[in-house]
């Protein structure tokens, strides 16, 4: 095929593509860490802004219910008002027991949120520790922790909660903390699994080997290099689980093994409203709405965080 074709030697004028110094560093932009980058992306996303505002509002309601209602939730319950329609000062009407619905929802926020937040904190402590150890060390530690997790994982939430909450100790001390305990016992394996996977992914990265060969101890490299890099999926799951735990509390309270009736919570209100669901469904609707909006906010936040922390989408 080598013919007598003449191939012309073409050279582009140098001015058109001036030569840059080999591998020069761009110095005109501000430094960008993973978190700074995530924040830059997040603050432009409506999904994040809406959910963050909602969550901030919910937290304020939980901390300072007095700011939002002057009506005490339980003091002025008069049976005369039972299932009453909205009246002046009582915008959402009255429950079957004649208590103010709006006030009960506002005051119920605290218990629901507390259950969610504390469950997530303890799930994080237990799940991340066990998951990280299992993923990082592997071998028999991994097997033991994985099987242990499977045992709890196999218990359906309601069934498991029924069993656990019937333990004598739990039955006698029913309250926020027993609900938290039930949820943590049944909820940690999920967190441990995610952590384990994330840790395994990072464990063999060159920078971990590099740290080890610098003299960093094994456990030191786990804490300083592996875990921070495995954090993104953990944070996303934690945010989403917060919503899930709030729903779970409501479920448990609804079937009567969650918070005792003396503690105001959305779950209890929904349970109490079931008797008047035909006559006055609004009573059921309002706490249920509060619940869904809260859960939706947390799940939306988790979704936005997942997108922002996705390493594949990182770029300049």
Using an 8 Å Cβ cutoff, are 180 and 260 in contact? no
Using an 8 Å Cβ cutoff, are 108 and 61 in contact? no
If one asks whether residue 311 binds other proteins (CB under 8 A), the answer comes out as: yes
Site string for other proteins, 3-42 (x = CB under 8 A): xxxxxxxxxxxx-xx-xxxxxxxxx-x-xxxx--x-----
Q: How far is the CB of 16 from other proteins (least distance, A)?
A: 6
Site for other proteins in 180-209 (CB under 8 A): 205-207, 209
Tokens of 91: 């915008």
Q: Count the site residues for other proteins by CB under 8 A.
A: 50
By CB under 8 A, name the one of 189, 190, 225, 239 that touches other proteins: 225
By C-beta, is 29 or 70 nearer to other proteins? 29
Residues forming beta bridges with residue 90, ordered by sequence position: 87
If one asks whether residue 1 binds other proteins (CB under 8 A), the answer comes out as: yes
By C-beta, is 2 or 278 nearer to other proteins? 2
CA distance 53 to 301: 10
By CB under 8 A, name the one of 79, 88, 154, 214 that touches other proteins: 214
Q: Is 89 left (phi over 0), alpha (psi -120 to 50) or beta?
A: left
Q: How far is the CB of 303 from other proteins (least distance, A)?
A: 19
Using an 8 Å Cβ cutoff, are 203 and 164 in contact? no
CA distance 203 to 228: 11
* DSSP secondary structure of 21-53: PTTPPP-SS----HHHHHHHHHTT-HHHHHHHH
By C-beta, is 38 or 250 nearer to other proteins? 38
Using an 8 Å Cβ cutoff, are 123 and 235 in contact? no
Using an 8 Å Cβ cutoff, are 246 and 295 in contact? yes
If one asks whether residue 261 binds other proteins (CB under 8 A), the answer comes out as: no
Q: How far is the CB of 199 from other proteins (least distance, A)?
A: 14
What residues make contact with other proteins under the rule CB under 8 A?
1-14, 16-17, 19-27, 29, 31-34, 37, 205-207, 209-216, 220, 225, 228-229, 311, 314-316
């Amino acid at each position: 095929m080598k013919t007598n074709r003449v191939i012309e030697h073409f050279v582009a004028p140098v001015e058109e593509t001036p030569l840059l110094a080999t591998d020069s560093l761009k110095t005109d932009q501000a430094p960008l860490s993973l978190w700074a980058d995530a924040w830059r992306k997040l603050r432009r996303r409506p999904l994040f802004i809406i959910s963050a505002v909602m969550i901030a509002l919910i937290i304020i309601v939980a901390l300072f219910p007095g700011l939002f209602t002057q009506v005490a939730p339980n003091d002025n319950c008069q049976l005369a008002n039972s299932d009453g329609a909205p009246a002046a000062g009582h915008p959402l009407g009255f429950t079957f027991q004649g208590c103010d619905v709006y006030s009960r929802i506002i005051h119920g926020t605290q218990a629901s949120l507390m259950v969610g937040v504390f469950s997530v904190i303890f799930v994080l402590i237990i799940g991340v520790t066990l998951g990280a150890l299992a993923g990082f060390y592997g071998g028999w530690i991994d097997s033991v922790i994985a099987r242990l997790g499977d045992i709890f994982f196999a218990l359906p939430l309601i069934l498991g909660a029924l069993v656990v909450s019937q333990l004598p100790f739990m039955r006698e001390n029913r309250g926020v903390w027993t609900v938290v305990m039930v949820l943590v016992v049944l909820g940690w394996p999920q967190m441990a699994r995610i952590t384990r996977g994330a840790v395994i992914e990072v464990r063999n990265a060159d920078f971990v080997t590099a740290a080890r060969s610098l003299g960093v101890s094994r456990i030191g490299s786990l804490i300083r290099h592996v875990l921070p890099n495995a954090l993104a999926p953990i944070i996303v799951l934690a945010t989403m689980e917060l919503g899930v735990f709030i729903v779970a509390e409501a479920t448990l309270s609804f079937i009567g093994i969650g918070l005792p009736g003396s503690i105001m919570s959305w779950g209890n209100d929904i349970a109490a409203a079931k008797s008047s669901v035909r006559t006055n469904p609004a009573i059921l609707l309002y706490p249920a709405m509060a619940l869904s909006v809260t859960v939706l906010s947390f799940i939306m936040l988790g979704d936005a965080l997942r997108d922002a922390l996705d390493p594949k989408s990182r770029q300049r």
